[in-house]
Chains A and B, each alone.
Chain A
Amino acid sequence: MAMEEKVIVCKELTKRFGDFYAVDKISFDVSKGEIFGFLGANGAGKTTAMRILCGLSYPSSGDALVAGFSVRNQQESIKKNIGYMSQRFSLYENLSILENIEFFGGVYGVSRKEIKDRSYKLVGELGLQKEAKKMVGSLPLGWKQKLAFSVSIFHHPKIVFLDEPTGGVDPVTRRQFWDMIYDASASGITIFVTTHYMDEAEYCNRISVMVDGKMEALDTPGNLKTKYGSDSMEDVFYKLARAAKRTGD
């Protein structure tokens, strides 16, 4: 196999608050187009690590290259090359679907013409033609999340960070969401995703599990199950996270 292109190279990344190591020397690589599951219990340090990788917070030590840019001193370049969505912050509820696309497309530097050309196509693909001019706030959660994902990759980022994108979403829509993730991955976008649904962990190419700020496990779901003698990712996660000393967010 040819050398895989690495879009995230993380070396001994550390974030310290006083004497508390929220993220403690984590090292890993993520390849182009990979679906990388970033798991951990509440308080394990996932959010802190993700904020650094997105260029929103500086590491205390160590470094990470995201889309080729350092989280230490090239944060603005990182932000231009990534997409982000979470369950909490996704879109502006008081803007219409088209307005949201126009706004976020504009923020990420997509040309007016391209926004115009592609936004109708996108709305069509999502089956939201009738709703295109409706406020996003009036849409069911599942549709909002699918739309938010589409918007987060509208500017063709190298990587998209998804923070619990399917929390609270119904089982059918959750699966449609994962179809979209697979399609994005097949088009070369790297997916960095957190989830509390362990069945979704199975859909990832590789899974990492953080425990107390450290990356305790990193492998394919199949290999992790073999290694921990488990028949499900839920059991693997339980075995790893149960050993955690610290609790909370």
Chain B
Amino acid sequence: MPEASILVRDLSKTYDKGSVLAVDKVSFEVKPGELFGLIGADGAGKSTIFRILTTVLLADSGTAHMAGFDVVRDYRKIRNLVGYMPGKFSLYQDLTVRENLEFFATVFGTTIDANMDLIKDIYDQIKPFSGRRAGKLSGGMKQKLALCCALIHKPAVLLLDEPTTGVDVVSRKEFWEMLKKLKAQGITIIVSTPYMDEAKLCERIALIQNGRIMSVDTPVNIIKSYPGKLFAAKSNDIYKLLKDFRAHPEIESCYAFGDYIHITLKDPSSSGLEVLNRIAMENNHSNVQIKEIKPGIEDSFILLMSQQKDLVQLTTTK
């Protein structure tokens, strides 16, 4: 299988006659055989980037290359090279599992059998339903069929737009196991997700918000570059604790995070534990637990979003 890189430079795209800026000068690079994640919420611009890369949408400006081919000039070559699983289920609902696979194989001038080695692990799971119409499959099965169809022509690049959205924790884990195996075959993969916990499963990630890339790096490096200290706290009344911290002038940011609250302080030189314990005591909290913790990708994302706040205002209050 050819190894393919992706190169995106200053890509911009607007909708509605320029009134909605969906993608704003986005640049990133994906190495051959890399598992690359676009991490961001709905509306961040992820799907627009995917559509431009798969040559089904033209950018307003900027360039993108897939395996050396230009997405505008060489779109025919790219379409043969790329497997694409859109966020919305886009197979033929009235065709059976087998017919969908056969259709996509034929369109790409190949057969199911010729590519069975690549899809076998996934196909085996839907094989018992091969005579069932795609529209009658469960969500998890649809997702597996869509992945099979995207792989049927041995693509060098696989683009997966939010494959795990609305999928439960168990199925999400299984899906990422499948991706790891595909990566081992040398396929370059870009996957988008709104789930921050999936970021750490990618080799490198781009954190994207409001059409802009806030950071591109390995998950480890993004976490390493988190400035200052992060604290976690809880007490008997965690919601009141959140409000008390938030109202205090020494606190920079404070937000709920699972069974804890995460907090950063305005003065990085202050002894965080002392300050936080004092505030909790002043507000009569009991069973207070406060500790310094290592940030995660979601903490980094929240921080980067707050730094982008002025820009957020600009883009949302048109």
- Residues of A at the B interface (CB closer than 8 Å) are 40-43, 87, 130-131, 138, 140-143, 164, 167-173, 175, 178, 182, 196-199, 202-203, 221-222, 232-234, 237-238, 241-242, 244, 247-249
Contact = CB atoms under 8 A, between A and B. Distances in A.
Contacts of A198: 169, 258
Given A130-B317, A171-B298, A248 B140 contact: yes
A43 B138 CA distance: 8
Contacts of B41: 141-142, 168-171, 173
B134 to A, nearest CB: 13
Interface in B21-75: 40-44
Contacts, number: 102
B289 interface: no
A78 to B, nearest CB: 26
22 contacts: A40-B168, A41-B169, A41-B171, A42-B139, A141-B42, A167-B194, A169-B194, A170-B209, A170-B301, A171-B301, A196-B166, A197-B195, A199-B258, A202-B258, A234-B197, A237-B170, A238-B169, A238-B170, A247-B140, A247-B141, A248-B141, A249-B140
- Give the top 4 A-B pairs by smallest Cβ distance, nearest first: A248-B138, A170-B41, A168-B42, A199-B258
Contact of A42 (B167, B255, B298): B167
A203 B256 CA distance: 8
A244 B257 CA distance: 28
A128 to B, nearest CB: 9
Given A168-B42, A171-B196, A222-B259, A247 B169 contact: no
Nearest to A197: B195
Contacts of B20: 138
A244 B168 CA distance: 12
Contacts of A171: 41, 196, 298, 301-302, 305
Interface residues of B, number: 38
Given A140-B316, A196-B167, A248-B140, A172 B256 contact: no
Interface in B232-273: 239, 255-259
A56 to B, nearest CB: 20
A168 B46 CA distance: 12
Nearest to A241: B170
- Would you call the interface of chain B mostly helix, strand, loop, or mixed? mixed
B138 A247 contact: yes
Given A168-B194, A170-B44, A248-B137, A178 B167 contact: no
Nearest to B125: A247
B173 A238 contact: yes
Contacts of B170: 41, 237-238, 241-242, 244
B165 interface: yes
A241 B41 CA distance: 26
Given A140-B43, A238-B170, A249-B139, A170 B305 contact: yes
Contacts of B317: 130-131
Given A131-B317, A233-B258, A170 B40 contact: yes
A88 to B, nearest CB: 9
